[in-house]
Chain A
């Protein structure tokens, strides 16, 4: 089984499902040079958001820790610890900040 990201109209294959460990993110390089951070939670749901931490500019969100708040899964930036909802990309600590999200599937 592979992990795929939706880019425009195509599915972009990132890696093998086995390379994604629950709770520990990985980064992928997209064809246009941008980066995505991919995660899988303990239920096996996969998520993908932009890898860039908007508060510092560094491409590190894939290295953050996962957590849950109010039934939603988030990642906490490893640099300054702001949390981002993995489904919507919204920052839970600053309403006005959002990171981009990608549709992801296991196929």
Chain B
């Protein structure tokens, strides 16, 4: 968008920027903010065929972000500031004597100040065959378009050379394109720069678990071609790997050729040497971003230090005092389903430092903190659970307010970790992408009267880079609002000012059976009469379902208005999977099943071509059903005596059991019978979140009852009841609620406990978090449900009795009602046509979703547009 007549006269000062990448664009914003675009002519030479875009989020292209959506350049900004931007026209030479730059098009520009922001190029190791068709790098949008094109036409298998941050991102992308993906890393572990040995081991398990094949400790020796295209690679251990596509991601090198050619000083290992003001050996020339060798002797491969350099140079052109002396290398991997972060001195390189390590290989969690001699936090590595990253990174350099052990232990083990962002000093950097401190964020609230997170983001830029600080940002903004007397809204959502618990009480006492009625009578003023929202609909739907028999609502969750309240899975009474297909789980109480019933499940799965998998809850999950197949599948299952397993609902899932006294030499009670009784009692109970349970036949605890919402362990004289346990991402050991209970006492206590939870928990709050949140914690709950301190127990028991008496199987109710059945079609106007976008490919003798079809097949129009731009 160059303007035809530059609005600056010839004697104006001219700034020429070479390279319009992320840092170059930031530099333009920084000089515009300082008013320099009004006093200077600004010329930008951009090599790529498109102006600056978000390289950090490059991989999101594969999840549907178009190149346009990745752009960082607002044409209006360029125009408004009279910037002359030459797209697709790189600088070819610099004459420092004459102070001119010549571009490929032949144009020559005179400069007073020259800024080089040429970034890096991917390093490709000099192995034979590296240039064969099918070899790629991963740096630009054009690279991704080429990889995508090649992968969908020619490739089934792909290999990434390099297991670092970018290599794993690239590998994730290949996997997403449906390729069998290998990662070859020369170092003995993945992400060798960021994580240590222990972290590498945990990461390896997670990555392998995602279906990638990892080869560590081996180098790539040769790329083998057949008929001019890649067919495999030779590894240094003699192995040969068959692959159709290779992506090199073995590090980057600064693009300093232009600087070398015009005689600027460059580092021994590359990078344009600059001082603290980012000035090169020629005072009229600056270098910023990944091409610069900073005054601390490092080349930074991250965007945040580049942004700081851009600000430094803009500042120094505006004659402000500014300098760049070095930056932190904290990073968080942006790979779906993998939590990896490292910050500060992650490897413990500081003399006399000590480590605190928590490692749980079962859950793939590894956390290490590096502590200095004075007790200060120096850095750390988090794998598998990087939740604490947002708070720990800003704490780096200071002595944490609680002991380091408490910072790495999972919640529930040991003392609660009471460390939030409120304990951070004002100088702590919360957003490292934009270098925003806690003080600045507080100032945005107190001085610039921002009252929401989006406002604070806009005002401070915090949270608009990699996004890893947004959670802490939210907590800070809330704290600050609360402190400054602004009443923080604890309401459920924009429609209701009440909490879930308050809504429960209203629905219960006033016997409100319709969402609309509740919204129109108790919603916020502005929300009455509106459609509501996706937060309160399922929440109220669940409350009404929990209380249905007591308040006289229909117990069938797809009845009338209730059908329009049900979230994702409840919508079709099955679990929605990533490609729009569903999975089906019949109830197998206690995990006990007859051979005949097993055979029925096998036959149904075979006849409908479903993928089967044994779940952790001792039952069988059948995947890949289309909407219109659900009723047919369930007709067969119901005929054979099965009922809904409610795997889709926020409700009781399963009660696992061990074989117990009947078979086991150690067993002291019949754990299977108890598990079946409990599962049948609480089946179909809608609750704030899913509920899991288990019964073990003796203290050896083979059923893992202490990791459940309510768990039962047999003793020689009865049962012990544990509550508030959790597995998954935030494991928590359950707390003992009561001991040596008889059968009847056990059931009565569980009745009360569950109903008290359903009544008082927040939306989507598991019993583990609920137990830690409510005032008085376990002691309070014990007082209420064991000692009846609130006089509630009769009511709680009555509510459960209502539930038990009115339970009906949702699936038999569905298949026996033609009107309900009519909903189960893919297309209302073509009830017999299956959804063509739901398709499968074989894997290990079963099916799996055909994902390339989703990412590519149904998006041809976007792609054409993208390629031609």
Cβ–Cβ contact A35 & B534, under 8 A:
no
In the complex, the answer to whether A57 meets B568 with C-beta atoms within 8 Å is: no
Q: 1/0 per position for A30-74, CB-CB distance to B under 8 A?
A: 000101001001100000000010111111100111111101010
Give CA–CA (A58, B837) in the complex, Å: 7
Q: Is A106 located at the chain interface by the 8 A CB criterion?
A: no
Write out the residue numbers on chain A whose beta carbons fall within 8 Å of the beta carbon of B534: 64-67, 76, 81, 83
Does A27 have its Cβ within 8 Å of any Cβ on chain B? yes
A19 CB contacts on chain B under 8 angstroms: 822, 828
Chain A residues closer than 8 Å to B572, beta-carbon distance: 63
Q: Are B855 and A23 in contact (CB under 8 A)?
A: no
B579 near A: Cβ within 8 Å? Answer: yes
Chain A residues with Cβ below 8 Å from B854 are 56-58
Q: Do B537 and A65 touch across chains, with their CB atoms under 8 A apart?
A: yes
CB-based contact A14/B829 at 8 Å: yes
The contact string, 1 if C-beta is below 8 Å from chain A, for chain B 828-846, is 1110010111100000000
Would A96 and B827 count as touching, CB distance under 8 A? no
Within the complex, the shortest CB–CB distance from A83 to chain B, in Å, comes to: 7
Q: Does B361 contact A (CB under 8 A)?
A: no
Name the residue in A19, A24, A38, A81 with the highest tally of chain B Cβ atoms < 10 Å from its Cβ.
A24
A65 and B538 contact, CB distance less than 8 A: yes
Asked if A29 lies at the interface with its beta carbon under 8 angstroms from chain B, I say: yes
- Chain A residues contacting B535 (CB-CB under 8 Å) are 67
By beta carbon, the residue of chain A nearest B835 is A59
| A15 interface residue per 8 A CB criterion | yes
Q: Which of A14, A21, A38, A79 contacts B564 (CB 8 A)?
A: A21
Interface of B is mostly: loop
Q: Residues of B contacting A67 with CB < 8 Å? A: 531-535, 537
Identify the interface centre among A14, A22, A69, A78: most chain B CB within 10 Å of its CB: A78
Q: Does A7 contact B (CB under 8 A)?
A: no
Chain B residue, CB-CB nearest to A41? B531
Q: Which of B15-23, B64-72, B218-226 contacts A (4 or more CB under 8 A)?
A: B64-72
Cβ distance B840 to chain A, nearest Cβ, rounded Å? 13
A28 to B24, CA, bound (A): 47
Quote the shortest CB–CB distance from B99 to chain A (angstroms): 39
B530, B561, B576, B579: most-surrounded residue (chain A CB, <10 A): B530
In the complex, the answer to whether B567 meets A78 with C-beta atoms within 8 Å is yes
Point out the residue from B64, B69, B564, B858 that lies within 8 Å of A22, measured CB to CB. B564
Interface centre among A59, A81, A94, A97 (most CB of B within 10 A): A59
Residue pair B858, A79 in contact (C-beta under 8 Å): no
Query: A23 and B564 in contact (CB under 8 A), knowing A29-B833, A83-B534, A96-B68?
Result: yes
Question: Chain B, 541-573, contact with A by CB distance < 8 Å: what is the 0/1 string?
Answer: 000000000000000000001011101100110
Q: How far is the CB of B365 from chain A (nearest CB, A)?
A: 25
Query: Smallest CB–CB gap between A99 and chain B, Å?
Result: 11
Nearest A residue to B515 via CB reads A23
Q: Given A24-B563, A33-B836, answer yes or no on A57-B858 (Cβ-Cβ < 8 Å).
A: yes
Known: A23-B561, A23-B565, A67-B533. A56 touches B576 (CB 8 A): no
Q: If A28-B828, A29-B833 touch, does A58 touch B564 (CB 8 Å cutoff)?
A: no
Residues of B within 8 A of A66 (CB): 531-532, 534, 564
A56 to B828, CA, bound (A): 23
Closest to A75 in B: B534
Alpha-carbon gap, A86 to B580, bound state (A): 21
Listed in ascending order, the chain B residues whose CB lies under 8 Å from chain A are 63-66, 68-69, 494, 516, 527, 530-535, 537-538, 561, 563-565, 567-568, 571-572, 576, 578-580, 822, 826-830, 833, 835-838, 851, 854-855, 858-859
The 3 lowest CB-CB distance pairs between A and B, nearest first, are A23-B564, A57-B854, A67-B533
Binding site for B on A (CB under 8 A): 13-15, 19, 21-24, 26-29, 33, 35, 38, 41-42, 52, 54-60, 63-69, 71, 73, 76, 78-79, 81, 83, 94, 96-97
A-B contact pairs, 9 of them (CB 8 A): A13-B829, A21-B563, A24-B564, A27-B835, A65-B534, A69-B494, A71-B530, A78-B576, A96-B65
Q: A19-B822, A29-B833, A68-B532 are in contact. List 4 more A-B contacts (CB 8 A).
A: A56-B63, A67-B537, A69-B533, A97-B64
